[in-house]
Structure formats: structure tokens, C-alpha cells
Amino acid sequence: MADKEELKKTSVPGEKTAEKPKKKTSYISAKESRRITKFNRKITKKLEHDREEAGKDPAYYTTKMRDPNNVVEFDNMCTYFFSDVGTVKAVDGISFDVPKCSTVGVVGESGCGKSVTSLSLMQLLQRPSGQTVGGEIRLNMGDGTALNIVNTPVEKMQELRGNSISMIFQEPMTALNPVFRIGRQVNEVIELHNPEMTEEQVKARTMEMLELVGIANKEGVYEMYPHELSGGMRQRVCIAIALACRPGLIIADEPTTALDVTIQAQILDLLQNLKDKINSSIMLITHDLGVVAGMADYVVVMYAGRVIEKGTADDIFHHPAHPYTIGLMKSKPVVGKKVEALYNIPGAVPNPVDMPNYCYFRDRCEMHCEHCSGKYPPEIRISDTHVVSCYRYFDEGEVLGYPKTVDVEELLNG
Amino acid sequence: MILNSPMKKYMFKRILFSIFSLLVVVMLVMLLVFSLIERSVIFQQDDVWNKRNNNDRSMYEYAQYQKYGYLTYVDYSSFLREKYIGLYGDEYDKEADFIKDRSVIQKPDEYLNNETVQEFKAKYEAEGYVIKYLEPVKYKSGKQKPGGSGYLVAVQEKSVVLRLWDYVKGFFTVETTRSVDDPNLEDRYIHFEKDPYSGLFAVTGSGTTHKYLLYFDGHFPFIHQNFIHINLGTSFTTYRGQEITTVINTPTGGLDPVKQQYPNKIGTDEYVDTAIDFHSLTYNPNTTEAERELYSDNYTTASFRQKGLSMLETSFVIGIISIIIAYSVGLPLGILVARRKDKLADKLGNAYIIFIMSVPALAYIFLFAAIGTSLFNLPYKFANSTNKVLAYFLPVISLALPQIGSLMKWMRRYMIDQMNSDYVKFARAEGMSEKEIYRIHISKNALIYLVHGIPGAVLFCLTGAIMTERVYGVPGVGNLLTTAINKHDNGVIVACTVFYTSLSILAIILGDVLLAKYDPRISLSSEGGGGR
């Protein structure tokens, strides 16, 4: 115990602590607020301009996959929100791959950047305030080339959305347009991406999709309106729409959070089966470790906008390496094990506007060491498939590289 | 089929409720205008009333009150006349009994002992009348003051319920072959026949008030009927004795004579230039032989063909054009400003909306009038403009521009509301372009909130626009109610109430039906619990 106290004291002198302690309040002076607004306007204008320029020539957004067996590669992707209280680094230099025909689970607590990652991949961020400012997202086009989603123009993205990548949302109750019949809504996406198909073909495909997602009364459902279906049925319809064009990647953003547990299992089963049927990958975003354990081949653990650990499901669940992951594993209830109270990780996530420049988890970490007060930890490979960002493995593992962040001031001037 | 079965049941209930509430509203208005408002104000500018004195003035008041519908009264002298005609025939006024009975009411001390007076009293008191004796007014010398002769009257104030019942009874008149009460008329029928005036068939009748019951002609709405006649109410002062339905439906222009033939001259080559509308022939029991020569039967009373539009049509034409403009401009503009939220177009749109909403209606009507007349040389006053089409411009624009503003406002608001909903995100994730999302998905959902108002907007064209019509001097129905209130034209007030109330009720019902057709989540049924 005494050692730990000692350690804490010695670990304090970092770069940050030399400065005077920051005010804890969220108060911003009028002057500061004006400065932020002005800065935001400038930088978003520049970024939008850059994007428009980049979108003009396919050379700017066509790249090559690092590994052709991946569907999507995130490479140091940074997505920032230029908000009225400052720049929120929602996702700051994350790198992970989604291999073909596999399920990648992205887990983390609320606000850690899971959804922003998926929205960046779809280019569905709320622009102009939300911008992917750095890094690459490479989407495998299947013909040896790849697209860098970050620079892809909107028109091209519209072709990809629903066709190569599609998304299933959390809320099936409201995801369907209430005033159109189910059949029309499924038809719509098929027609959109297959303009050469005739009306009969489209309807046949719709029927096929409805059957595929396990809707028994497909003829009836075709003519129904969303409000006439239950939540589970609506999620099936959403899945049918998402899968109608056989996408290479399905992003499932908490697809079962709004459903009850029995339906949850059915929907996940369905997703898993359909994935195998149409040879696509799933990027499963959830905060439910049970769902990830049951479905994912690979798991990416995110914390405060960064990937802290990634590996196969076995790596993460049976050999968690990062203190946060270890904490997560400890905090889930286990059947047959009696505990007084469930473990919880102390402290809270740091303020996204003003991130520390040491390990984000240090202040909550029970295992932190001297190194931890230094630079943000690099990615360290501790086995063939297992990568973790923690100084505890600095000496034994292979250091892969530090996450690259983007200096927004520099971006504006450079 | 527009209505399914539970909806039919629901609509039936709705209509019953509507009729009930209509009756309640009419009753309240009747209570207000006939009982609560001081009635003597009707004589404020009445010359006859000013000239009369004493009891004569009171008798005139009774007569006027009866005419305005406040009460019914019976004069003793008319009772007396009827009684003695029955007894002695036409020469009754020479009988001594009659003279005695008539003069007795000039004697306040003894009139109650008279048998006929007692009979009169007993009869009308039994019927609920109040007997009022107006004593002769005399100078001290014993000479009668002018207008001071004595009267005996039985007066009955109508109760509101009775008044309502009378009104409802007279509301619909259905034509039958028994409508004409003339013992000399033996041939009574209703049948189809070829109409010599239109060349098409028509339903004609004999024994009915109107000769033509169903016919076609060249005037909107081209097919006309006289089977059912609706009487909303009768005007007492503004349009002396005319029914309101006639007033608002009669063209306001001059006579429109055309070359045509009298019914009995068809087949001959006798043509006359006349404005008589032979389709409007009604039964006249006092037809002369000369008239019969022309008309071949007793249907000899007709109205005249007039040029131009009726008051109702004028208001409706102006209103409906402005509404079509408002919806076809306002809704797309609303979508546009919603798409360009916070951009220049949106700011301009907002500036316009705020202008229209904050400036009083009268102010911008005059502003439009000023701009229109000075910059575009449009005619200002409707009535004395030579170009009838150009005259419509300013009233229509003055009505349309504010509506465009309000439609833009609501459309923008609901579009922005819908822009952040989940189905929009999902549609984007499906790969739809922003344009398609706005055009197909968002606008249809945003319109749900506006659909309900469309039938109302159309129907309320029929009530006219008071201020616009006043400023431009449009001969429309907008002024009907205000003029009627000013002139204590109680019949018109009640008629307008019924008309406006039924329009409102109809507008809401139609709005609900339209909404139920448009939004699949809504179903009209009395069972409750349609969707989830």
C-alpha cells in the first residue's frame, strides 16, 4: 500500500502538471466563445473546400488495401467535432481492420466513439461540424483497388451506401418511414442501386429478402405499414433493407438494444446466418459484452475515442490485457458466482474537449506505472492477433506505433 | 371505396354530433340576438316610428317586432273583423253589433264587460298570449291626442325552443305534387321530359312550386335542382324580405336578355329578347288569361337572368385562386427554406414570414394595393374597373401572400422537425440522395400536419374575406355578417351563424377524413385504438 502511494507521488511530475491547474467548470467567456466560433467557421470551411477538391479526381481517393483480405481498414482515422465549446476529438487516431467474412465487435462505454467510427465509415457525420480530419478509411472494392472514404465525394458515397456498406440502426421503431408501405421501402433501396431491374424483379427480390429475414407472412407484410409490425419484425425489415443489395460490410449499430432479450437472440442469430449466406462482414457496435462474446470473431475495445485493445474474441475474453478491459470483464456478472457487489471501474471518462496527453485511462487505472505519465501509450503487439495500448507490456511486446492525432491549428495554417 | 365500415359508423356518429352542436350554436345565437340584446335599437333610424305617436307608435312597434321575428301579436280589431265576416259576410262593417264591439275599446271603464272582448281574452289567454290594453290617450279637455286611440292586443313572446323549432321546420322545403294549394289544379305529376331550353332532358312537375325540378343550363354548376329548397333565414332590413340563400346566390350584374321563346310559343317563329329565366318558373294562382296565352299553364312567375357572378361566387373565385396560389407556392418555398436552413434563402424566407406575421393585415393590404396600382397599374376598386380579369389581381394577391407566409412557416418548421428523425438517417444510410430524401421522405411526413387544414382553407373561401373585400370594394359575402349586425338584421345573423358553423364542422370532418387517408397510422373508427 505504501509503495502505491509512493508510486503515485513520483508519477505526478509530467509535462501537464507543470502548468497551473485548469478550471474544472465548463464556463467559457464570451470572448473565448467568439474565438471558438470563428475558428470553427474557418476550419470547417477549409475542410469542406479540401474535401470538394479531393473529390474531383478519383486519384485522390483511390488507394490500395494494405491487406486484400480485409473489407475495411481504419488507419489512424481521426473524427473531430467542432462544437461551440471547443474541438471534441470524438475519435482520435484509431486503427483496426475488418477482415472478409468475419464479425468484428466494437465495444466500449457510451460516448467512446463507437458510433462516430461507424458514421465516419458511412460519411454520415453531421457536417459541417463533424469532420474526419485525418487518417484513412480504406474500403475494399473487390477489384484490387480501394476507396479512401475520407475523401470520397458524396455522389460516390451514395452509390456505396446501402450497396457496399449498409447500416442497421438501434431503433427499429422509428427507422422506417411511417407513411410508406414496407414493400415500397424495401423496393426503394433495390431500385436505387439496381436501376436496370424491372418492377417484377424488384418485387421478387423484396419478397426473397423478406423471406430471408424470417418473415413468415411476407405477402401480408409487403402491404403493411411500419406501425402494424412489432419491434422485432421492424428490425427484420430493416435488416432486409440493409441486406437487399448484398453489401460487403454490414454495420450493426447496437441492433438489439431496443429489443427484448428473446428477440435479441433471434435477430443476432439471423444476422450471423445471413452474413454467412451472402459472404459479408459485420461490424457489430455494442456495449453488451454478452452479444460480442456470442458473435464476434474479432473484438476492438475503445475508450475515450481510441482503440485500447484489439484481438480475437478469445484474446479479449480469456486473456484481457488492458486494465480497462480487465475491469470490464470483472464488472460483468457471471452465472453461478456469488459476489457481494459487482466490480465497477472507479472515476469517469476525461472531458472530451480537453483530453490529457498521457494515457487517458491513467487516472482511473489501478495498475498504472511510471511510464503512464509520459506520452499516450503506443500500440503494442503481445501475440499474433492481440494488440494492446498499455505501457505494462512496453518491454515484452513489439511496439507498433503511436496513434497519430491531428493538430487542428496546424491543419488550418498548413 | 373511400370509407370502410367502421369508418362509416364513426362518420355517422360524427354527423349526428355535428347536427346537435349546430342546433346548440343556433339556439345560443338566437338567445343572444332575440333576448339579450336590447330590441328597441331597431327604431333608431326609423322615420315611420318617429312620425307616429302614443298608441299608434306602440302598435307600429308590435308590427315591426313581429316582422323582425321577436314576437307574434294579434290585434283585437282583426279578430273582430274575422268574427263578423263569418257572421255577416262582406257587409259586416255596417252592422250595429260590430260598431258597438269596435268602439268599446275606446272606453277604458266598460270594455271588459263586452262579450266579444271577453271571448278574445279567453281565446288568446288559453293559447299563452298576454292581453295588453292600450288606454286611449287624451288631452285634459277630453279630446284624443294624435295616435292616441285605444287598442287591445294579445302578445306572445316566442320562446327560444319554439323559435328554434320554427327555424328548423322551415329549413328544408321539399317539393311534392301537393306543394301548390290550389283546388282548381287537378293535373298533378312529376316526370321526365325534354327540356326545350337546354335541349337535354329535365324533370318537371305540376302541382309543385317550381316547374323545373332538375335541369341543365350553361351556368355553373350546369346541373340545377329545385327539389329541396334550403332556407337559411330571411333578411328583415338589409335585403328586405329576401332569403339569404337567394341574396348570396343571385348574380350582381345587370339584366342579361337573350333571344328566346315563351313556353307556349315553342315551335313557332315568335322570338323575344327577354331576360326571363324560364327554368325558374313558379306557380302563380292568379295567372291572367293573357299570361296563360304565353306560358300555357299557371307557372308564370320567373326570376330574371342576370349578368356576372353572385356574391358567393365572387368571394369563392377570389378565395380559391388565392388558395391554389398559396399552396402551390408556399409549400415548395417551405421545403426550399428548410433545405437551405441558416443559408441566405432561409434568412430571406424568415424575413418575409416575420413581415407578414407582424404587420397588421389592413396595413399590408393597403401596401399591396399601393404597390399594385402605382407600379403595375392594376385597377384598385373592383366595382368600377373596366377590365374584370385584372380587377381580381390585387384581391387575390392580398389574400395569397399572407397564406404563403403562414404555409411556408409551418412547412419549414415541420420539415426541420422531420429532418433529424431516424428514418431520414436510415434513408441516407440506404444511399438516397439528399434531394430524394427531402422530396419523398421528409416532405410527405411534414405534409401530414398540413393536410388537415386544406378542406377548411377551401371551404372558408365561401365566407369571404372582410378586410380585403372592403378595401378593394369586392361585391362578396365578406361583409354580410358585419352589415347584418350593424342593422340588427337578425335573420341574416342566424343564417350566417348556421352557414359558418356548418362550414367549420364540415371542414373539420373532411380534414379528418383526408388525414386518415393520408396518414396510415390514423384510422377513423368509433371503436378506439386503431394502430399502436
Residue pLDDT, tens place only, A61-93: 888 888 889 999 999 999 999 988 888 889 988
Contacts of B213 (CB under 8 A, 6+ apart): B175, B190, B202, B203, B204, B205, B225, B226, B227
pLDDT values of chain B reduced to their tens digit, one per residue, 532 residues: 455 677 788 888 999 999 999 999 999 998 888 888 888 888 877 888 888 888 888 899 998 888 777 888 998 888 888 888 888 877 777 778 888 888 888 888 888 888 888 888 898 989 888 888 888 888 888 788 888 888 889 998 888 888 888 888 888 888 888 888 888 887 888 888 888 888 888 898 888 888 888 888 877 778 888 888 888 888 877 777 788 888 888 887 778 888 888 888 887 888 888 888 888 888 888 888 888 888 888 888 888 888 878 888 889 999 999 999 999 999 999 999 999 888 899 999 999 999 999 999 889 889 988 988 888 888 888 777 777 788 888 899 999 999 999 999 999 999 998 988 889 989 988 888 888 899 889 989 999 989 999 999 999 888 888 888 888 888 888 888 888 888 888 888 889 989 999 999 999 999 998 998 888 888 877 655 444 3
- C-alpha to C-alpha distances, B430 to A158, A225, A243, A284, B361, nearest whole angstrom: 8, 19, 10, 18, 46
Task: Report residue B343: phi and psi, to 5°.
Answer: -95, -175
- Cβ atoms of A91 and A120 within 8 Å: the answer is yes
Asked whether residue B211 falls in the same domain as residue B348, the answer is no
Mutation site, B423, B434, B451, interface A, largest A CB count within 10 A: B423
User: Of the residues B462, B478, B494, which one is the last residue of a structural domain?
Assistant: B478
Say if residue A11's pLDDT is above 50.
no
How many A-B residue pairs are in contact by the CB < 8 A criterion? 79
Asked whether residue B101 falls in the same domain as residue B231, the answer is no
pLDDT of residue B4: 67
What residues in B contact A193, CB-CB < 8 Å? 431
Asked whether residue B204 falls in the same domain as residue B145, the answer is no
pLDDT of residue B265: 82
Residue A230 lies in a domain: no
Asked whether residue B222 falls in the same domain as residue B371, the answer is no
Residue A190 lies in a domain: no
Asked whether residue B467 falls in the same domain as residue B366, the answer is yes
pLDDT of residue A14: 39
Asked whether residue B134 falls in the same domain as residue B115, the answer is yes
Asked whether residue B339 falls in the same domain as residue B366, the answer is yes
Q: Strands B258-260, B272-274: parallel, antiparallel or unpaired by DSSP?
A: antiparallel
Residue B204 lies in a domain: yes
- A147-199: per-residue pLDDT in tens? 888 888 888 888 889 888 999 988 888 899 999 999 999 999 999 999 999 99
Residue B180 lies in a domain: yes
Q: Flag whether residue B435 sits within 8 Å of chain A, measured between CB atoms.
A: no
What percentage of chain A exceeds 70 in pLDDT? 93
- B364-397: per-residue pLDDT in tens? 889 988 988 888 888 888 777 777 788 888 899 9
Contacts of B176 (CB under 8 A, 6+ apart): B207, B208
Residue A278 lies in a domain: no
Residues of chain A in Cβ contact (below 8 Å) with chain B: 122, 124, 155, 157-163, 166-167, 169, 171, 174-181, 188-189, 192-193, 225, 227-228, 238, 241-242
Residue B465 lies in a domain: yes
- B118-144: per-residue pLDDT in tens? 888 898 989 888 888 888 888 888 788
Residue B284 lies in a domain: yes
**What is the C-alpha to C-alpha distance for residues B19 and A193, in angstroms, rounded to an integer?**
54
Q: Strands B223-225, B228-230: parallel, antiparallel or unpaired by DSSP?
A: unpaired
C-beta atoms of A166 and B426 within 8 A: no
One DSSP character per residue, B153-202 reads EEEEEPPHHHHHHHHHHTTEEE--TT-S--TT----EEEEEE-TTTSSEE
A158, A171, A188 member nearest B422 (Cβ): A171
Asked whether residue B378 falls in the same domain as residue B444, the answer is yes
What is the pLDDT averaged over residues A50-57? 82
Could you tell me which chain A residue has the CA closest to the CA of B521? A227
Mean pLDDT of chain A: 85
C-beta atoms of A177 and B532 within 8 A: no
Asked whether residue B296 falls in the same domain as residue B327, the answer is no
| Cell matching residue A269 | 442469430
Q: Which residue range is the domain that position A411 belongs to? A: 65-156+287-355+379-414
Residue A91 lies in a domain: yes
Mutation site, A126, A177, A182, interface B, largest B CB count within 10 A: A177
Q: Strands A387-388, A398-401: parallel, antiparallel or unpaired by DSSP?
A: unpaired
Asked whether residue B282 falls in the same domain as residue B178, the answer is yes
Residue A299 lies in a domain: yes
CATH number for position A134: 3.40.50.300
User: Of the residues B478, B495, B515, which one is the last residue of a structural domain?
Assistant: B478
- Cβ atoms of B120 and B83 within 8 Å: the answer is no
What residues in B contact A159, CB-CB < 8 Å? 431
C-beta atoms of A162 and B430 within 8 A: yes
Could you tell me which chain A residue has the CA closest to the CA of B436? A192
Say if residue A22's pLDDT is above 60.
no
Residue in the structure block whose three cell numbers are 361566387: B313
What percentage of chain B exceeds 90 in pLDDT? 19
pLDDT of residue B293: 83
Residue in the structure block whose three cell numbers are 328544408: B172
- C-alpha to C-alpha distances, B342 to A369, B181, B421, B529, nearest whole angstrom: 51, 74, 19, 40
C-beta atoms of B430 and A241 within 8 A: yes
The type of residue at A167 is: M
Asked whether residue B146 falls in the same domain as residue B187, the answer is no
Q: Which residue range is the domain that position B205 belongs to? A: 172-301
What residues in A contact B518, CB-CB < 8 Å? 179
Taking the CA of residue A286 and the nearest CA in chain B, the distance in Å comes to 18
Residue in the structure block whose three cell numbers are 394595393: B369
C-beta atoms of B432 and A192 within 8 A: yes
In this structure, what DSSP letter does residue A287 have? S
B422, B433, B520 member nearest A169 (Cβ): B422
Asked whether residue B221 falls in the same domain as residue B357, the answer is no
- A331-347: per-residue pLDDT in tens? 888 888 888 888 888 88
Instruction: Provide the whole-model pTM.
Output: 0.79
Q: How many domains does chain B have?
A: 3
Residue A271 lies in a domain: no
A124, A162, A163 member nearest B425 (Cβ): A124
Residue A76 lies in a domain: yes
pLDDT of residue A24: 52
Residue B14 lies in a domain: no
A174, A193, A228 member nearest B431 (Cβ): A193
Q: How many domains does chain A have?
A: 1
CATH number for position B401: 1.10.3720.10
pLDDT of residue B319: 93
C-beta atoms of B429 and A228 within 8 A: no
What residues in A contact B421, CB-CB < 8 Å? 174
pLDDT of residue A182: 93
Residue B16 lies in a domain: no
Residue A140 lies in a domain: yes
- B168-224: per-residue pLDDT in tens? 888 888 888 888 888 888 788 888 888 888 888 889 888 888 888 888 887 777 888
